Amino acid sequence: MAELCETGTSVKLARGYLHPDDESAVQWCWDQVKPSLEDSKKMNGSILVEQRVDLSSVGLNVEGDPERCRIDLAIIVGEVAYLFDWKFGEGYVPRPKYNWQFRMYALGLVLDYGVKRVIATKLQPAAAEAFRRTADEFSDTDLMALADRVREISKACASPDAPLVTGENQCRWCAARDTCPARAGAVMGMPMHLGVEDWFRGIEPASRTDFYERLLVAYDWVSRARAHVESFILDGGRVPGFAIGEGRGSREWTDENAALVALRSIATQVGRNPESLLITKMASPSQAEKVLGTSKPIKEAMLPLIQIKPGAQKVVRAEETP
């Protein structure tokens, strides 16, 4: 996307190695931003691609990490900034007004470029239709008030008695996540003396949310603790009662061609069809695209042959409401 925004070339030329599914996601994002880029050129706007904003004045110290605070695309026309950020994952990403990353990017544009309004757009091609493109507007006044709040939070975080507030999102990126007592406490605080299923059904909905959030933190802590312990053992560390063992092996032909000749002969001897030994399988739509290409006529010809089956149901975070 960055290359596209800079060069304006076609999606395929920009990244010849894109997987067809990714290509359509990039194409969709490109279709969303292209009109704004074209308009900005007519209006002599400034186009910023992967531009880093400086948030050190509000206490967000990202020195030494050049990947942080990098806006995918910002277009500045006069006192208005149009901010775009694309999310290629499937997981829940809140819309800009509920999303600290967007709010901080918008603040960065106010601080660095002196804009008065920021129109922030989240582009997430894999999200459900209603949440694929969500946009919110911020004023410089709102953002400067937010800057004061962030300064206070940053200052409070630096205090030795800062409260530890666990949560899937904030803990995932925290450098202290393996040593944080609050995360370990989330494991210890599980209601182990109760049958969770009946107890969970009986508590208030808000308490269910609280419990599930704590469960996610505890689960992550346990998974990471297990990975650390297992890597200690695999590196030769001593844990009495445990040792390095072999995983389950798999059987493979030593020489497929020679095996096929031999097996065909055996099949004939036992009265079975030798051709049953060769299993042919229909290519998936993605594999067929790799063979046939993804030109427009091929895509059009394939379209009526493909059905989208819904994936297995899973729990996702839901869009927040005010």
User: Rule CB under 6 A: which residues touch ligand SF4?
Assistant: 164-166, 170-171, 174, 176-177, 180, 182-183
- Closest separation in Å from C-beta 11 to ligand SF4: 38
CB of 152 to ligand SF4, least distance (A): 16
Nearer to ligand SF4, 153 or 180 (CB): 180
Which three-class secondary structure state does DSSP give residue 239? Answer: strand
- Minimum CB separation from ligand SF4 for residue 148, in Å? 22
If the CB atoms of residues 52 and 177 are measured against ligand SF4, the closer one turns out to be 177
Q: Which is nearer to ligand SF4, 142 or 168 (CB)?
A: 168
Q: Residue 171 is which amino acid?
A: C
Least Cβ distance, residue 178 to ligand SF4 (angstroms): 8
Can you tell me which residue has the tokens 């582009």?
123
CB of 175 to ligand SF4, least distance (A): 8
Nearer to ligand SF4, 144 or 176 (CB): 176
Residue pair 82/37 in contact by the 8 Å Cβ criterion: no
- Determine which helix (DSSP H) or strand (DSSP E) holds 118, and give its type and residue range: strand 117-123
Closer to ligand SF4 by Cβ: residue 49 or 174: 174
Least distance to ligand SF4, CB of residue 163, Å: 8
Q: How far is the CB of 182 from ligand SF4 (least distance, A)?
A: 4
Under 8 Å CB-to-CB from 208, ≥6 apart: which residues?
A: 200
Tokens of 30: 């490109």
Nearer to ligand SF4, 17 or 173 (CB): 173
For helices 181-188 and 205-234, angle between their N-to-C axes, nearest 10 degrees:
110
Q: Are strands 46-52 and 133-139 parallel, antiparallel or unpaired?
A: unpaired
From residue 104, alpha-carbon distances to 60, 85, 120, 134 in Å are 10, 12, 11, 17
Q: Is 264 left (phi over 0), alpha (psi -120 to 50) or beta?
A: alpha
Q: Cα separation of 192 and 274, whole Å?
A: 58
Cα distance between residue 219 and residue 289, in whole Å: 39
At residue 136, the 3 state secondary structure works out as: strand
Q: Which is nearer to ligand SF4, 179 or 254 (CB)?
A: 179
